[in-house]
Chain A
Amino acid sequence: MEALQFFIASVTAAGFGIAIAAFGCGIGQGMGLKAAVEGVARNPESSAKVTVTMLIGLAMIESLCIYALVVSLILIYAHPQAAAIAELFAK
């Protein structure tokens, strides 16, 4: 039963982890997008440069959420107790 409790805890943590990461990432990207749109509204000629810079910034912020996603995936699929849990489900 130890393995089952560990699995339940891991999966719960994975779910909350990625949810909180997506929350922070959404706010961060929204602020970046807000500044980019204000910049284009002030100066429509700089639209191309501002758009490229905004996309690069969004990719940087998104990568933080991807790190949290990778940790969640490790918790669900590849954590150290994987052998014990696999035999738990094989019965």
Chain B
Amino acid sequence: MEHPYLFLTKLFELFGLGDFASAYPHVVYSWLVMTVLIVFGFLASKGMSMVPSKVQNVFEIVVSGLDDFIVENIGEEGRLFFPILATIFLYVLLGNLFGLLPGFFPPTSNINTPLSCALVVFVMTHLIGIKYHGVGYIKHFMGAVWWMSPLFLIIELIGHSARVLSLTFRLFGNMMGHELVLGILFSLGGMFLLPLPIMTLGILVAVVQAFVFFMLSMMYFSGAMEHAH
């Protein structure tokens, strides 16, 4: 159930790096996602004017949509975290959508990519809490009444660690499951367009999972910023 033909692996073989590219396709394809996003960003901001042209218009819709959503949910302070949240959304969205192109490997279908994004969100949540509340951040883990603090501390610590696991497995499981189902259907009867309905579902799953990852990160940031119970 491996991808039979990957463009970038063949390209890297021309330079003699074929072993690296075929052992770590998720790293190589995440470089491709980064390149595509950087090139689009450069193109969108090249001739910036008050009356936007076509590419700039598309990106203004995307950026303003994300910004309004963040400010609507967190408040004005949320504007500070727009870069990291929008980057997470665009990177995960593009990484998921790569799975639908033939010859491309989605970097999010290997467990390392979602795990890295989830760890960044986890560290950022605690940095935000410490920045906004200082040492008083520990009150978030104490609970409502002071004499239940030890129990609440353990429960909150386990809950916070479970956030990393749940973010990772939600994204990885959806992408890996999609790839497995496509692989099985191809081996059953691929020449009769059997996998097409699954790929249609795959578009929906890719967009929804990127949005859910982004929205959960935003709510974790918002929970670290607000006052304790």
Contact = CB atoms under 8 A, between A and B. Distances in A.
A46 interface: no
Nearest to A60: B212
Given A56-B212, A56-B215, A63 B172 contact: no
Contacts of A11: none
A51 to B, nearest CB: 12
Interface in A26-67: 55-56, 59-60, 62-63, 66-67
Interface in B36-88: none
B173 A67 contact: yes
Contacts of B208: 55, 59
Determine which residue in B172, B176, B212 has the highest number of CB atoms from chain A within 10 A of its CB, and name it: B212
Interface residues of A, number: 11
From DSSP, what is the main secondary structure of chain A's interface residues? helix
B212 A66 contact: no
Interface of B: 166, 169-170, 172-174, 176-177, 180, 208-209, 211-212, 215
Contact of B172 (A55, A60, A70): A70
Given A55-B208, A59-B209, A66 B169 contact: yes
A69 interface: yes
Contacts of A56: 211-212, 215
Contact of B177 (A55, A59, A60, A69): A69
Nearest to B166: A63
B173 A69 contact: yes
A8 to B, nearest CB: 21
Interface of A: 55-56, 59-60, 62-63, 66-67, 69-70, 73
Contacts of A59: 170, 208-209, 212
5 contacts: A59-B212, A63-B173, A66-B177, A70-B172, A73-B176
Given A55-B208, A59-B208, A59-B209, A66 B215 contact: no
Contacts of B209: 59
A73 B177 CA distance: 9
A69 B166 CA distance: 13
Contacts of B170: 59, 63, 66
A73 B111 CA distance: 13
Contacts of B169: 63, 66-67, 70
Q: Would you list the 3 A-B pairs with minimal beta carbon distance, nearest first? A: A66-B173, A63-B170, A59-B212
B212 A70 contact: no
A51 B208 CA distance: 12
Contacts of B174: 62-63, 66
B88 to A, nearest CB: 16
